[in-house]
Chains A and B, each alone.
Chain A
């Protein structure tokens, strides 16, 4: 019987799956995930799709903020850039989605690296403010650059097509989104087993020591901005496909705060945490809506106050998590799992 966590080799420490049963469980989970559309009603499928997109965005933000330690409040702007470049490429040049999505990611990555350049000089709260300012500037440009973005009216995006097959329903979009989500999570999980990922973590933990150890800070910070923005840009492109009409109001600054909330509640510096957080924050308004409509009979006022309730609960959860579980749901889950794994002989 196991009574502790004893690893004897580096590869054992780095492995994604600790045992074969973990592989099997993940396999079963994926099978269940991809069969979900069979027995999920229409509206829930839309929620699921949004969760898939949120997972991509949250993993992307976590790469930058959780793993590299660079706080970004400009996430919504990055998303908007992904969405609008995807929309522009699709409507103007008629490119198919499998070119649009990566190109949107690349555009966002370039922009993210551009925003990241000052991160060598400014850090911490200065970087947070600079990215927030970048958000407002991007928002302004999107409203003004009507020939590309459609201005306030926005862009209407045609459904992505593969040959004659159009991803025009929630079920079809589900497969498009979740294939990308699974690939994105897999890539991120593996990223932190490589030299690049280790360099990110080193920069977060102690930038000066990292540089002494030979980590090129500028290069890896920019790389982190690039990879993170690529994720966020892809998420933005998927938002465009899912929403079908995008306008500057699709990406307000509260979206950036929501994403930060996801990685705080899920767990900074944890891929699994980003997933938990994305699910939690996306489901939160839905659960509130369900509970208020259930209570609508006795408290009719509640329905009108739904937006405020959502904001209140969101804020409360953030504050509670930061105060009582700063490492997020991922850490809580980990400690619960370890407790039972070693039960009753943990030392």
Chain B
């Protein structure tokens, strides 16, 4: 076996996986806080990427300003969606929540398509692209920056949940809404914050993907579906699980792309995460780190 090829695949998987991890973290934050399954996560990512692109190429802002404005925009978008669409549905049937996020994803996708069309738009180069030699393998610098960004962001999030007052309040809400209410925590506010954080985190994922791929188009929204195997593997309510699951699924995807695709003539890369999803559901339905909630009927 060609070890360089394998390493190359693993590194690619690591990069893509770290972005999956980011988006999955956003997904898990919402699920933990409000038990809502957000199938519009991929659209958050796409909207963030397009907003950032617009700021960078149209208004020629420096990258850090563009990303800050993207952050603010995504936070407002997330809060608005929570306030207008998800909050009236608190306590309603699961299928309503699933369908409303599917409807939302249609709306966001359509709005982006109306504004930017369906063609791939080149993304300005944010990170230097000259490859760096790590051992025998050349690695694009963009990849390293992406992994770095994800690591920093995840560390920040962990600190936020561990040390900040809001973060602790959010964890309290996740573990028991009633107790949180008696402690004077506004559960509604926590829901809104979780949507805002989730949208922001996903937007970073979108921007990173844009820089790595060099262009963005509507296919970014598929990331929202790609994230489902990740959260199932990691456990729906575990942020650590989302990160580990993201990396594993990313690597799995690239390995099957490298080794299985030549055998079957393409397509295995896309379908491998879903086969993994089914297997995990059969063997370990609550994932690697998920909370077990056993109900036998």
Contacts and interface: CB of A to CB of B under 8 A. Distances in A.
Nearest to B113: A308
A134 B85 CA distance: 29
Contact of B105 (A65, A139, A305, A315): A315
Nearest to B225: A132
A2 to B, nearest CB: 33
A318 interface: yes
A255 interface: no
Contacts of B265: 144
B109 interface: yes
Interface in B31-50: 37
Highest count of chain B CB atoms <10 Å: which of A129, A134, A143, A264: A129
Interface stretch (B7-15, B203-211, B273-281): B273-281
Nearest to A204: B93
Contacts of B107: 311-312, 315-316, 319
B98 A128 contact: yes
A82 interface: no
Interface string B83-108: 00100110011111011101111111
B89 A307 contact: no
Contact of A133 (B88, B111, B277): B277
Nearest to A326: B96
Given A133-B278, A318-B102, A319-B103, A121 B110 contact: no
B103 A316 contact: yes
B246 interface: no
Interface string A202-221: 00000110010000010000
Interface string B101-141: 01111111111011000000000000000000000000000
A323 B109 contact: no
B103 A318 contact: yes
Nearest to B228: A129
Interface in A292-347: 305, 307-312, 314-319, 322-323, 326
A137 B271 contact: yes
B109 to A, nearest CB: 6
Contacts of B1: none
A122 interface: yes
A256 to B, nearest CB: 10
A309 B111 CA distance: 9
Contacts of B225: 132, 253
A144 B263 CA distance: 11
Nearest to A207: B297
Given A307-B113, A311-B106, A140 B85 contact: no
B88 A143 contact: no
A140 B267 contact: yes
A121 B274 CA distance: 18
Interface of B: 37, 85, 88-89, 92-96, 98-100, 102-111, 113-114, 225, 228-229, 232, 236, 264-265, 267-268, 270-271, 274-275, 277-278, 281-282, 285, 297
12 contacts: A121-B281, A126-B281, A126-B285, A132-B274, A134-B278, A140-B270, A264-B96, A305-B114, A308-B109, A308-B114, A311-B106, A311-B109
